[in-house]
Structure 1
Amino acid sequence: MTSFLLDHLRSVFTPTAVSELARALGEATETTQKALDGLIPAVTAGVSNRVSNPEGAARLYQLLNNTTFATDPTVSQLVGISDHRQKAAESGNTLLKQLYADQPNQLAESTAQYSSVGLGSAGILTGLVMSVLMGFLRQQITGRALTQAQLTALLLGETDSVREAIPAALAGTLGWLIGTPQPATSIPLRTETIPTASIHDRPAGSTWWRWLLLALALLALLFFLLRGCRDDKSPQTLDSSTLTATDTLASDMDGNGPAVRVGIDLPGGRKLSVAEHSFNDSLAHYLANKNSQTPRVFTFDNLTFETDSARITDQARPHVDDLIQLMKAYPNLSIRIEGNTDSTGDDAINDPLSGERAEMVKQALIQGGVAASRVATRERGDTKPVASNQTQAGRQKNRRIDVVITKL
């Protein structure tokens, strides 16, 4: 499971940085790493949890716009120079207290108990993680001109991944921070019926909430059946006449998907077993043709995401893994991943979501060993429809991920 927020934090707190930080704090490297392995997803989940209600979302957005972050020094300075480290830690802990005023020290205490680092060290580590995370979110807001609604969508799309990354022994003490539902009435974040935010602040023992949730579920289910699933997993065939002269359709799958699987031998001895006429099958044949030209567009027809989320479904992960193998077999191959949506809904949500989904595919490729320089992304929103948005079938075709071959 991938999360671009967690990936960024882990790229900052590298093993080398952790070793230097442990030495500066007078802690063992192993316990410092354990503390950060818990803090990185826990702090991220805590920030994501704040946008589950409008008041918290507004508060976070205000902090990100109005705070000067002490994350300008390099990573080595943050972990190795006492003054920089102290400023960043204090800044992060101040921000955390502004988001969770009632429990200013509880996260550090839980981390110290979980990892066996000293309480003072746990407090510094907590502040550093918070400072780096908030600084990165500030960069997202300023660099991409994100609105409050767009920031909320970005964070909610990460919620499931970051919660599941928290070690169970630590997560059990952090319900106040990460908003984990009680087991007896838990509702999976990935459900397509009830927004998770509606259960975070439920008073204990309130039975009327169960009836309210049930009513909402029935209403949402009715809406879902009438409107059709927004992110239908049925692959669709694109109309190649709507593409430019250099764009070529690669997939020819019907609504039920192909039943036949074919074996493909790749350079370097790699082998794939893919669905016939699927995205990876067509891409493999294209790459094997020495006369193939660029640019070329392939629609990732078997790539699906959780509804209204940038998280790749478990069913789609093997197809992403196949793409990783193809890129490793053809080391000169470079691609651009483009996220597309239909024209329904709020552009403030849909447009960044299309970009986040493209970025999520890129991060999956990077984690699989593909160099980041070989993968670009583009947020297209609803600017490149391939079918009419007036019909459900057309909207399904427009909600897609395109992979553009830019270099062979």
Structure 2
Amino acid sequence: METNLLKSLSNYVTPELISQASSALGESETGISSAMSSAIPTLLSGLLTNANDTNVIDGIIGLANSKDFDASSVLSSLPSLLSDSGNKSAIAAGSGMLNMLFGNKQSGLFDLLGSTSGVKKSSVSRLMMMAAPMILGYIRKSGFSAGSLVKTLFSQKDDILKAAPTGLQALLGHGTKLKPEVKEKIKDIKRPVTPTPPPAKQKNKWILPFLIAVAALLIFYLLRNCEGEPETPVVRNNVPVVVEETKVDVIEPKVDLVDVTLPNGTTLNATANGLESQLTTWLANTDNVLDKNTWFDFDNLLFATASANLLPESENQLSNLVEILKAYPNVAIKIGGYTDNTGDPAANLKLSEDRAKSVVAEMVAKGIDSGRLSAEGYGQQHPVATNETEEGRAQNRRIAMRVTSK
């Protein structure tokens, strides 16, 4: 019997867990229950949305199977994840999962779950930080591989999307059809199964053989008495059924990578038309002059939720920028941090400044003289898009840089 993801994961959301979360977050038990009922299918929907991205799915499996991640401990003490003092490795894994699945859509996602469940956005964030490690723990406990996880998700796709909150499809862009290469990869994989209990012992074992014998005699009698009559076609119940595959949109690859060659001969692997390409093209043109309006947006930086802590996925772009500065030793830059207009302006300003300083600190650690770097946070100032839509808010939450000397 196939593992039912929604049912199995919902079993961990016990009345005791709801009560403890309600006390810890200052929310009603009804609201917490509603939020958790949305959080599980939301995370599973995030996995479905990224099913064609092998880097994401492999990354999720990697988080679940990390030597620092104790699945048994996590699943047995979920309420401890509701505060920063809880299981730090589990919280970090949960944060990594949320960033892999939802990236810069997390703020809009928390808004959506908060409005549908009636709990504060900050409470939704903490609940998702608990639900994500819970799912990682279940993935590890169940022995899922990347292929078997994708196969199981797609076999239960309709149920998952039906359980997801209204509006999630528009936010995440559901409509995933497995690419041919992914289908081929998972074709022969057996899904994890739950044990099937042995059949109950039959007290009267003679009944079944007796009934079979009676049925055989009856069939023989009917056939003998039908001799000479026109033959009637027999309709059988085991006719093969052809099931049409649901037509859904294909998720295209997220980025194209190109080689960027620097004046000193160093070659970088970077996103096409990303920060590295734009910056090196600008620096190579000696006619370009310094001004305060020419900014270049980072396109591969990730931070932990509501934190200035850079995630490992940011390593490649930061290293590339360091190499660019080494190739242009006279260049100095300024890092700017920005947020959308959601939340407290003062808190947004501080977060944007902390994140900009975090980028500078990482580059100094990689060997760049601190005198060539500066940082400033602008909070919700200088939006580049409307804050009325999630897409616009996502564009406004950014880290950018400009050249201050060359």
- TM class by shorter chain equals 0.3 to 0.5
* TM-score relative to the length of structure 2: 0.41
* TM-score relative to the length of structure 1: 0.41
